[in-house]
Amino acid sequence: MKNIGILLSGRGSNFEAIARNIASGHVPDARIALVISNKPDAGGLGTARRLGLTALAIPSRGKEREQHDREVAAALKEHKVELVCLAGYMRLLSPWFVKQFPQRILNIHPSLLPSFPGLEAQQQAFAYGVKVAGCTVHFVDEELDHGAILVQKTVPVLDGDDEHSLADRILEQEHIAYSEAIRMVLEGNFEVAGRRLVRTLTASK
């Protein structure tokens, strides 16, 4: 059984989808050991508590980045977390934090990276006039929205779309993509060659 730690800052719909997919057996041999928010009023914390999960607020406000990251890492280690999933965590991680969990931190971003990194990616894509949008689950490295890609899902931009309807359809795909990526990482039958994920035949662990 692998322990997953979730970091979030807001409503937590991606976290909820992961929890649902674990409960239904779509992500086998995993449990959510801990949910942490840097925002004490994040909706995702309430959801976690309702689901009977351990939920912690570790406020980031007014703290040096690495100081906050050290508190978060200590909580994750205390709960024996092996895989850290950022799910709407609106805070850059320090290089120190990234080193604590090598190839063990995932993020989801609501665009087809490397297009539209950063904030409001769906609006950026819509305003740019792309015909295909989507989402990306990737490993976290020291650069924003940058590490090796695990899963991408495409979403067509329809004639009647506005940025909100597009974002809603991207979110539906996010909820599928994140659990797929977690399953891949936990199964472990791939190697990262440069930026590319290459499938290997047998599980490496």
Instruction: Give dist(CA 99, CA 82) in Å, integer.
Output: 13
109 included as an active-site residue: yes
When the beta carbons of 45 and 108 are compared against ligand GRF, the nearer one is 108
Question: Which residue ranges make up the site for ligand GRF (CB under 6 A)?
Answer: 8, 10-14, 87-88, 108-110, 171, 174
Residue 191 one-letter amino acid: E
**For residues 135 and 154, what is the distance between their CA atoms, to the nearest angstrom?**
7
User: How far apart are CB 44 and ligand GRF at their closest, in Å?
Assistant: 6
- Confirm if 170 and 135 have CB atoms less than 8 A apart: yes
Which residue, 138 or 189, has its beta carbon nearer to ligand GRF? 138
Distance CA 171, CA 17 (A): 10
**Residue 10 or 46: which CB sits closer to ligand GRF?**
10
Q: What angle do CA 187, 190, 194 make, to 5 degrees?
A: 140
Q: Which of 109, 138, 146, 175 is catalytic?
A: 109
Query: What letter would DSSP give residue 107?
Result: E
**Closest residue to ligand GRF in the complex (CB):** 88
| Closest CB 114 distance from ligand GRF, rounded Å | 15
Catalytic sites, residue numbers: 109
